[in-house]
Chains A and B, each alone.
Chain A
Amino acid sequence: MTIRLVNDELRPPQPPPRRHLLSVADLTRDDVERLLGTARTFEASMERELKKLPTLKGRLIVNLFYESSTRTSSSFELAAKRLSADTLNIKSVGSSVDKGESLKDTALTLGAYDPDVIVIRHPQIGAPQLVANVTDAHIVNAGDGKHQHPTQALLDLYTLQQELGRLEGLHVAIVGDVLHSRVARSLIQAFELVGIRCTLVGPPALLPRGLGVEATTDINAIRDADVVYVLRMQNERMEQGANYVPSLREYAAQWGITPERLSPGQKVMHPGPMNRGVEIDPRVADSIDSLVEAQVRSGLVVRMAVLYDVLTGGPVGVRALAAAEVA
């Protein structure tokens, strides 16, 4: 026993495997539960007067944003700061991206500063993976095109768990522009992991073929759901003249979430930013059944948990976290 320990100490230290969060598809149910548990621990610490934790002191976290973002970029930045990490925020506008620098070259440049984590949002599918291939940093996907937005899915699970008290057995209807939605793609995988039933509802051209999930164009299908998850109409991703829907007015009339279409006590979620009066009636957005603000609050602690998890690895319970705080 003793000899084995000595031998272990003499072994040259192995660099820990690099951990990324690129897609919900890479996560197990255990991973999800660990992350949500860590987030709960952080939420408890947020109730203190001094909210800053020394956990990631000396770490460098780069936020590389190629698309505009309020919620995601601010919560990642604040999450890093609450954990005492150094942050570097790069936006495509006003950087050398403006001068035509390729993603690969930008990643190599930032990689030269040896960041511990690069958080990246990019309009193209697979951009985070490309950055992971050319740098040594841990990569967190903050949204890549229509592909994935894994931290959104995690914060939504966290919100559901906190607000409804359970995940398994819930029924969520996702309504709207599924075709262009990275949030929907991540959510569908996350719901399957934790045993949430999912129904997609939307106009025919905005429901992609071959997703293998229950889907319907009938808005009345939302009635049985515990939660209605409303997607944003992504005008910026719809090319002119594509005619996915005849008009936003027609969309609002047929698929907009109004108080009349909801069942009593049904909760409503939206990843933001909302187009009030299009996919969601303002009376619904501001009602007590709206979980939109809770989602934003969850975003901070879940992103703290994600940064902590990719950097420290392994199962992270309350005790491990306490030890890290002491260190």
Chain B
Amino acid sequence: MLYVKERNGENVVLRGARVLDPAEGIDATLDVRIDNGVIAAVAPEVDAGDHRVVDATGLVLAPAFVDPHVHLRTPGREDEETVASGTAAAAAGGFCAILAIPNTDPVVDSAATLGALIETARREAEVPVGFMAAITRGQKGDELTDMAELAASGAIAFTDDGIPVASAGMMRRALQYASVTGRPLVLHCEEASLSHGSHVHEGSVAAELGFAGYPSVAESIMVERDLALAAYEDQPLHLMHLSAAESVAALRRAREAGVRASGEVTPHHLVLTDEAVRSLDSNLKMNPPLRAESDRIALLDALRDGTIEAIATDHAPHARHEKDAPFEEAPFGVIGLETAFAVLNTRLVRPGLLSLATLVDRMSTGPARIFGIDRPRVAVGATANLVLLDLEREWDVRADGFRSRSANSWLLGATLTGSVVMTIAAGATAYQLVHAR
């Protein structure tokens, strides 16, 4: 279900890092030896033998990250991102696996399109990629895709992200049929008749600036509908990029009632509110929109208590000339793979709002569990999926600094603290910071 180009397994000793793997209950200064891509020893001092040695003193070694929501724009918009550039960006962000969204051109709704993508990934993916397929043909909401065949061909999940399934009847059929595939449905919840034509959260900022309001209830009403259907059909579902307090409350209630529902939140919804839109910067235009401070607090609380198990970047590359337009004309979406860890470390971990252990869990273990991916972990015998982090390093976010083909980041010009020093994905080194230390 995950595809990557052939690379040589790493032989390396990472010496003296603070090894942090919350799921394994490890937080100690240890050496880690990797033999041919597999963790061979985790101990206070290991024999390096012929291995390359990386002095990791003062750094944190953690399970590498898993991003369940990435737009790779391939096929169709290779000017914005390719499998090669998107996975290189992921590697630089500390990710050992990413999941690609099928709202491409053409939409990934057939085994042929999916097969071509898998072949591309086997040729050029720097880190393992999983591909989601559409729930309905062409994401038109009319007919189900051949979900069983798509799952057998390698689809990791199903989503109509971008153009959500409007009809409750169609959603019910999708939930029923997805059970045959064993793969989860992944839902972008938006009632289009409430959000139609709008760009900014309905609140005082939209009212003052004149933007058509995209109310919270446009999301939460659909979250409630889909959770009700999932409960009725007793099927699992995963809610994408939650933004509203009411949606979080609905997810919490459903989970307490035993519904197999999970949720994700983006870095931008965790640290920004609609106040940021006053700048009219089109890199603050995303769907769902940035919401009120009370929503942001609710999302952060849910992330802490585990109601929301996963952080997802919703990495959405856009061509420069398309974002260089008035706010309403510019497309929705921002990139996030290369800044996710650093911005959350800077804005949440360092001020004491979120523990590093919880951040690592929600960026790695949480999303892996939801999608049935082998959990990245620091354990002898496990394939090395590790990230080495420098929590103190400061760096500037610059348009020419991205491995992504696009630079539509809301963080351009910001200084962040904390960076990825090295990423080992599926046993091979996918990224190493140049000039580190």
Contact = CB atoms under 8 A, between A and B. Distances in A.
A125 B202 contact: no
Interface stretch (B298-306, B322-330, B357-365): B322-330
Contacts of B196: 239
B267 interface: no
A266 B327 CA distance: 40
B280 interface: yes
Interface in A137-191: 144-148, 182, 185
B211 A125 contact: yes
A188 B207 CA distance: 12
A129 B325 CA distance: 11
Contacts of A148: 210
B327 A239 contact: no
B327 A124 contact: yes
B209 interface: yes
B275 to A, nearest CB: 12
B202 A210 contact: yes
Contact of B210 (A130, A145, A212): A145
Given A102-B321, A125-B280, A239-B197, A208 B326 contact: no
Q: Is the interface of B mostly helix, strand, loop or mixed?
A: loop
A125 B202 CA distance: 16
B204 A212 contact: yes
B239 interface: no
B186 interface: no
Given A124-B327, A124-B328, A126-B280, A210 B204 contact: yes
Contact of A129 (B207, B280, B328): B280
A203 to B, nearest CB: 16
Interface in B318-353: 321, 324-329
Contact of A124 (B206, B207, B329): B329
Interface string A187-224: 00000000000000000000011111000000000000
Nearest to A126: B280
Given A124-B326, A125-B328, A211 B207 contact: yes
Nearest to B329: A124
A125 B204 CA distance: 16
A104 interface: yes
B208 interface: yes
A125 B209 contact: yes
Interface in B63-110: none
Contact of A210 (B206, B326, B328): B206
Interface residues of A, number: 23
Interface residues of B, number: 21
Contacts of B211: 125, 146
B162 interface: no
A103 interface: yes
Contacts of B280: 125-126, 129
Nearest to A133: B324
B328 A145 contact: yes
B203 interface: yes
Nearest to B201: A210
B288 interface: no
A275 B325 CA distance: 33
Given A208-B213, A209-B203, A122 B208 contact: no
Interface in B164-215: 196-197, 202-211, 213
B292 to A, nearest CB: 9
B329 A210 contact: no
A185 B206 contact: no
* A102, A126, A147, A211, most chain B CB atoms within 10 A: A126
A60 B39 CA distance: 71
Given A125-B280, A129-B280, A211 B325 contact: no
A64 interface: no
A230 interface: no
A127 B326 contact: yes
Nearest to B274: A210
Given A102-B321, A126-B280, A211 B328 contact: no
A102 B208 CA distance: 26
Contacts of B205: 210
B68 to A, nearest CB: 33
Contact of A103 (B207, B208, B325): B325
A250 B25 CA distance: 68
B328 A208 contact: no
A187 to B, nearest CB: 12
Nearest to A148: B210
Given A185-B208, A209-B207, A239-B197, A126 B326 contact: yes
Contact of B207 (A122, A144, A182, A208): A208
A209 B210 contact: no
Contact of A147 (B204, B209, B325, B329): B209
B207 A125 contact: no
* A103, A122, A125, most chain B CB atoms within 10 A: A125
A146 B326 CA distance: 13
Nearest to B280: A126
A125 B326 contact: yes
A122 B326 contact: yes
A226 to B, nearest CB: 25
Contacts of B329: 124
Contacts of A209: 202-203, 207, 213
B208 A211 contact: yes
A182 B210 contact: yes
27 contacts: A102-B324, A103-B325, A104-B321, A104-B325, A124-B326, A125-B209, A126-B280, A126-B326, A126-B327, A130-B325, A145-B210, A146-B210, A146-B211, A147-B210, A148-B210, A185-B208, A185-B209, A208-B206, A208-B207, A209-B213, A210-B205, A210-B206, A210-B207, A210-B208, A211-B204, A211-B207, A212-B204
Given A124-B327, A209-B202, 10 more contacts: A103-B325, A122-B326, A124-B329, A125-B209, A125-B326, A125-B328, A126-B280, A126-B327, A147-B209, A185-B208
Q: Which 7 A-B pairs have the closest CB atoms?
A: A146-B210, A124-B326, A210-B204, A126-B280, A208-B207, A147-B210, A210-B207
Interface of B: 196-197, 202-211, 213, 280, 321, 324-329
